[in-house]
Structures are given as C-alpha cells and as structure tokens.
Structure 1
C-alpha cells in the first residue's frame, strides 16, 4: 500500500484500468478484481484523488475529487 501511495501521489487522478493491471502484475491472482477495486478506492480517498474509469477506449469519466 505504501509503495502504491508513493507512486501515485503526484498523479491528477488514478486510472482504475491501469491500477488493476499494475496490482494484478504484483499480486497475481491473490486478490479478486472487486478486492482490487476496493483497494484502489481506498487509496484514491486517502490521496483525495479522482478515479478515472476508462470507457470504450476513447472516452473516460471521473469519480471523486481531483
């Protein structure tokens, strides 16, 4: 969690798609996608960041602060 916080501290928002891919690479199949989404949500709240949800590749929407 500390490493993820450090790496994303300067980001304007946190991409859910990129974050799940990165965390999946680090954790393998230990955590479900739902667990990863909750983790990312907790981090976004802690950092006061928006979560960027990718939609159909060329469109995106944000949820939260930032």
Structure 2
C-alpha cells in the first residue's frame, strides 16, 4: 500500500499524537487512524473508492482541531 494522503493533529507528545492516512495499492483503498505515534495503536478500514476513503478520513479528523496535511 502507498500512502496517498497523511494528516496529523499537531501534538508532539506520543500519547497525544493522532495520524490519519489514506492508502491504496492502485485498486483498493483504506484509511488508517493511528493513536500514540509509531508505537501506538491503529485501526484500518477498507473503503470501496477514493471518494469514500476521503469521506471517512474527514470524519475521523473532525474529532479535533489543528489537523495538518503532511507532504508526501
């Protein structure tokens, strides 16, 4: 899977960090929500299309302010 888009909530302390990724292999799409930085927990949701992945990623980011898009 290749990361197409990545956002983080701007919090630098590991337990407060949140990341949301949209990933694809060219045919399938998934959204990953990660809590607690690289060593934290994550949840992956499969999506049928790029549009549905974008909607889900937006919903997961709506739980807070300060989200920043990370460059690829």
Q: What's the TM-score bracket when you normalise by the shorter of the two chains?
A: 0.3 to 0.5
Higher helix share: 1
Counting strand residues as a fraction of each chain, which structure ranks higher? 2
Provide the TM-score with structure 1 as the length reference: 0.39
